[in-house]
């Protein structure tokens, strides 16, 4: 008996489709995670130049910001110092102004402020602004001020003169007294001591020294240290023979000429070592 064919259950089919979609998404997520893990594993120990460069840029940026903040801090401190200096200057000016005498303040020229700054008025304008009483009072104040200044100058001059006199008196007190110079004259009646005019006696501490002083022995004195005049003698010999060697051997170098002169010097009678000499510690035999 043939079974009756039924229709498709839509709910079951939708559930199956949903399960398949969830399963596919899970598989894709797992595949992505595996790929990321594999990529991270492969990048271990690889070149991290980009990351190093990023860290270096971060460090430089932080240093620039720190320097900028330090510079701003210094500028703020400098501005505060300038403000304090200005305040101190204003305070000092105020003190000076308070200490000015009334007549000196009255004698100061008046300044009028305009758009171009402070301008000193002319004397004619100033005289027109003052009344006759003010001019008279101003003249009296000027006279008083001149008298005070003259008195101060007199006191200063008197003090200076007194100080100079005291200094001169102190200098004279410290200066030793000079006694009158006495000139002693000696008569030029001295005579030379005849005993000292004689030659001093010869002294010798050995027989050889005594014979040397008396000149006993050979007429020709033998040289004990010929090497002492070796350099001077060779220099004179070289100067005398150089032109002759240049004529005999033209076209040579200076070092070759000097070599030939040195060879001639070895056998020359002008060489102190080729002359008759005496040992430095030789003694006379009799």
Task: Please indicate, yes or no, if residue 92 is contained in any of the structural domains.
Answer: no
pLDDT at 179: 47
SS3 98: helix
pLDDT at 206: 62
pLDDT at 96: 64
CB 261: neighbour CB atoms within 10 A? 19
pLDDT at 28: 93
What dihedral do alpha carbons 230, 233, 235, 241 form, nearest 10°?
-130
280 within 8 A of 225, measured Cβ to Cβ: yes
| CA distance linking residue 247 with residue 200, whole number of Å | 57
**CA-atom Rg of the chain in angstroms:** 61
Q: Where are the alpha helices (DSSP H) in 48-203?
A: 49-99, 102-107, 123-129, 132-174, 194-197
Task: Please indicate, yes or no, if residue 210 is contained in any of the structural domains.
Answer: no
pLDDT at 29: 93
Task: Please indicate, yes or no, if residue 126 is contained in any of the structural domains.
Answer: yes
Task: Please indicate, yes or no, if residue 241 is contained in any of the structural domains.
Answer: yes
Question: Which residue, of 157, 172, 187, is where some domain finishes?
Answer: 172
Task: Please indicate, yes or no, if residue 188 is contained in any of the structural domains.
Answer: no
Task: Please indicate, yes or no, if residue 71 is contained in any of the structural domains.
Answer: no
The one-digit pLDDT tens for each residue of the chain (286 residues) are 556 556 667 888 888 889 999 999 999 999 999 998 888 777 766 656 777 888 899 999 999 999 999 888 888 888 888 777 777 777 777 766 666 556 565 666 555 555 555 455 554 444 445 677 777 777 788 888 888 788 778 778 788 888 888 888 888 877 655 545 555 655 566 666 666 655 556 666 665 666 666 655 444 455 566 667 778 888 889 998 899 999 999 988 999 999 999 999 888 888 887 776 555 545 555 4
Total domain count for the chain? Answer: 2
Task: Please indicate, yes or no, if residue 266 is contained in any of the structural domains.
Answer: yes
Domain that includes residue 167, residue range? 102-172
Task: Please indicate, yes or no, if residue 168 is contained in any of the structural domains.
Answer: yes
Question: Which residue, of 136, 153, 172, is where some domain finishes?
Answer: 172
pLDDT at 229: 72
């Amino acid at each position: 008996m043939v079974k009756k064919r039924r229709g498709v259950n839509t709910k079951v089919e939708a559930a199956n489709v949903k399960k398949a979609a969830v399963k596919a998404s899970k598989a894709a997520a797992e595949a992505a995670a595996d790929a990321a893990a594999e990529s991270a594993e492969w990048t271990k120990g690889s070149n991290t130049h980009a990351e190093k460069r990023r860290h270096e840029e971060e460090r430089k940026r932080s240093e620039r910001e720190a320097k900028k903040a330090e510079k701003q801090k210094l500028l703020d401190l400098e501005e505060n110092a300038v403000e304090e200096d200005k305040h101190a200057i204003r305070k000092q000016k105020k003190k000076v102004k308070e200490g000015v005498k009334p007549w000196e303040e009255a004698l100061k020229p008046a300044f009028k402020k305009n758009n171009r700054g402070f301008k000193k008025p002319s004397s004619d304008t100033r005289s027109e602004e003052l009344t006759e009483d003010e001019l008279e009072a101003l003249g009296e104040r000027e006279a008083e001020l001149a008298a005070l200044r003259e008195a101060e100058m007199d006191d200063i001059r008197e003090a200076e003169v007194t100080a100079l006199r005291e200094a001169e008196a102190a200098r004279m007190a410290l200066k030793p007294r000079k006694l009158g110079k006495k000139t002693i004259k000696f008569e030029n009646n001295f005579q030379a001591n005849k005993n000292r005019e004689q030659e001093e006696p010869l002294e010798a501490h050995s027989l050889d020294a005594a014979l040397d002083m008396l000149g006993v022995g050979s007429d020709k004195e033998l040289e004990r240290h010929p090497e002492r005049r070796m350099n001077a003698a060779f220099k004179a010999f070289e100067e005398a023979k150089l032109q002759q060697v240049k004529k005999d051997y033209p076209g040579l170098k200076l070092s070759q000429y000097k070599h030939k002169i040195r060879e001639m010097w070895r056998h020359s009678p002008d060489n102190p070592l080729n002359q008759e000499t005496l040992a430095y510690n030789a003694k006379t035999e009799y």
